[in-house]
Amino acid sequence: VNYGSSQLFTITATPGYRVSDVTVDGSSVGAVSSYTFAGITTAHTISAGFLPTWDLNGDGICNIGDVVKVGLKWGQTGSPGWIPEDVNPDGVVNIGDIVVIGLYWGQSW
C-alpha cells in the first residue's frame, strides 16, 4: 500500500460459517463484513474469527444455548442473514432457524 493511501478489506466466511469478530490493531471492531484502513502511514494488523452458523452463543457445541438465542430474537425480520440468529438465512427469525440448529444438534467445534 502506498504511503497515505487507503486499503479496503472484505471479510467473507465460507458457507456454513459466519464472521464472529474482526480485530484491528489488537482491538475488536465487531462482526463486520469489511474494514477500511484510511490514510495509512504506519503498519497495521487485521484478523477475523469465524464460528459455525449454528454456534450462536459461541460455546463450541450445538445445544439449547443456541436455541435460546434464536428464541430471544423470535419474530424479528430483516434482510436475509441480517443477524446471526437468522441461521437459515431467510430474513425472519422463526422455526426454520430452529430446524437448522436441530440438524447440527450435538455437534461440536
30 CB burial (10 A radius; 0-12, 13-18, 19+): exposed
- Write out residues in the chain with pLDDT < 50, as ranges: none
Question: pLDDT tens digits, residue range 42-53?
Answer: 999 999 999 999
DSSP 13: P
pTM summary value: 0.78
Look-up of cell digits 463450541:
60
Q: What pLDDT was estimated at residue 70? A: 97
Q: Backbone phi, then psi, for 17, in 5-degree steps?
A: -130, 165
Contact 32, 1 (CB under 8 A): no
